Amino acid sequence: AQTMDEMWDSSVSGKANPNLKWFKEAKFGMFIHWGLYAKLAGEWKGKRYYGSGEWIMSQARIPVAEYKEVAKTFNPIKFNADEWAQLAKDAGIKYMVITAKHHEGFSMFDTKVSDFDIVDATPYKKDPMKALAEATRKRGIQFGFYYSQFQDWYEPNGGKNSWDFDETKKDYQKYYREKAIPQLKELLGNYGPLGIVWFDTPGGMTKEQTLNFVNDLRVLQPKSLFSSRVGHGLGDYRDFGDSEVPDTPIKGAWESIYTHNDSWGYIKHDMNFKTPAEIIRLLANVASKGGNLMLNVGPDGEGNIPEYSVKFLKETGKWLDKNGESIYGSTYGLIPAQPWGVSTSKPGKQYLHVMRRPLDGKLLIPDFKGKVAKVYNLVSQQQLSWKNTGKDIWIDLPVFEADAANTVVVVEYSGKIDDYDLKVPITVSGQYP
């Protein structure tokens, strides 16, 4: 019989992808949205747009002919692949996924399939993806591409663009045949081993067509993991909706995606960056449900990662340097979420992520069935006193100033403690809730 993990992980081939191990252990990824929209920075003809910078072509109903002109001004001379990869490394990030082509239809890589790409259509004339693939690999970071396989607002036959082309006259199969598939073959063929191929907003294909599409690409990179937004419940691991964490632990390989401020693509007037404390807590929260957090940054049109992203990610990395044991390689906590925070697990250990210290310093673990052996602060290794009231465990928690955002307390125990009655959710991925 299949385990619940395998039921989800086996949706494509009938067998779980054997390459999920690194992904399940990774816990923290970096998403990068970078395209022509970064140059527009959330403004078109003097009007500011909010929400999602990468949607400006749609929000402002920019005709293809005008959008094409933006490419002539896109010259990200500040782009430095080693700096980006080093930032990821310093932040404790284990994998990176960058937009090779978003819905705008512009290719951020060298392609023979279209002229609307960074090498042919901009003064920059170089392929930044080549450099980034190398810089990440050099640092042991898994590298992957986001590719908008259906939506392409630049192409007469691309999905979902109702302001410039007639939706009823579109031949989606022609678009898949002539652009999406050949470009994906370039991406899978020309950039070395890819950890992930991240699809988004599926459409225009039946389940059988999607299966053929996936199998066709898989030949090129059998070890790559395909995200569930390839559609029809297919894919090697599951993505939740944009900025969504499930309420209860979920088994199998999955990921929550969030962005650092309120936009995926760069918007110059969006200063609502999550603080290091917020990132650390979000990461712990996602890990406590058993998933990975892929956090997005949106570099600007010059190729700079916003200074707050740089600063705050480095701070996050400092916390992970000391507390990484409680995150990397962990699974969902067996202690349900409490008023003080959440937990993550490793064999014989529960890591308590204390984000709100009880004011009386008494930390409650209700109904703990295991036999507690030792309780200590992860960073200082200072042992903490605790008592067992027969039903509950009460831990004496001093004030730890150093890691106020999230103080990790380790509970070592023996014996079996309750597991959740976990179900594989029936929601099909690749859809927006």
Shortest separation between residue 251's beta carbon and ligand H79, angstroms: 24
**Is residue 186 involved in binding ligand H79 (CB under 6 A)?**
no
**Is residue 264 involved in binding ligand H79 (CB under 6 A)?**
yes
Q: Of 69, 59, 51, nearest to 106 (Cα)?
A: 69
Say if strands 47-48 and 407-414 run parallel, antiparallel, or are unpaired: unpaired
Question: What is the contact mask toward ligand H79 in residues 14 to 53, using x (rule: CB under 6 A)?
Answer: -------------------------------------xx-
CA distance 275 to 311: 9
Shortest separation between residue 227's beta carbon and ligand H79, angstroms: 10
**Is residue 239 involved in binding ligand H79 (CB under 6 A)?**
no
**Is residue 261 involved in binding ligand H79 (CB under 6 A)?**
no
**Is residue 228 involved in binding ligand H79 (CB under 6 A)?**
no
Q: Of 231, 220, 236, nearest to 8 (Cα)?
A: 236
Shortest separation between residue 242's beta carbon and ligand H79, angstroms: 5
Q: Of 99, 115, 85, nearest to 31 (Cα)?
A: 99
**Is residue 116 involved in binding ligand H79 (CB under 6 A)?**
no
**Is residue 262 involved in binding ligand H79 (CB under 6 A)?**
no
Q: Which is nearer to ligand H79, 86 or 201 (CB)?
A: 201
Shortest separation between residue 368's beta carbon and ligand H79, angstroms: 39
Residue 171 neighbours by CB distance under 10 Å = 12
Shortest separation between residue 409's beta carbon and ligand H79, angstroms: 34
CA distance 7 to 86: 37
**Is residue 432 involved in binding ligand H79 (CB under 6 A)?**
yes
Q: Which is nearer to ligand H79, 88 or 397 (CB)?
A: 88
**Is residue 117 involved in binding ligand H79 (CB under 6 A)?**
no
Q: Which residues are paired to 47 by β-bridges?
A: 44
**Is residue 104 involved in binding ligand H79 (CB under 6 A)?**
no
Q: Which is nearer to ligand H79, 52 or 111 (CB)?
A: 52
**Torsion sign across C-alpha atoms 298, 304, 307, 311:** positive
CA distance 199 to 255: 13
Within 8 A by CB and 6+ apart from 261, the residues are 267, 270, 271, 272, 273, 274, 298, 306, 308
What DSSP character marks residue 306?
P
Q: Which is nearer to ligand H79, 106 or 413 (CB)?
A: 106
Positions touching ligand H79 (CB under 6 A) are 51-52, 54-55, 59, 200-201, 242, 257, 264, 432
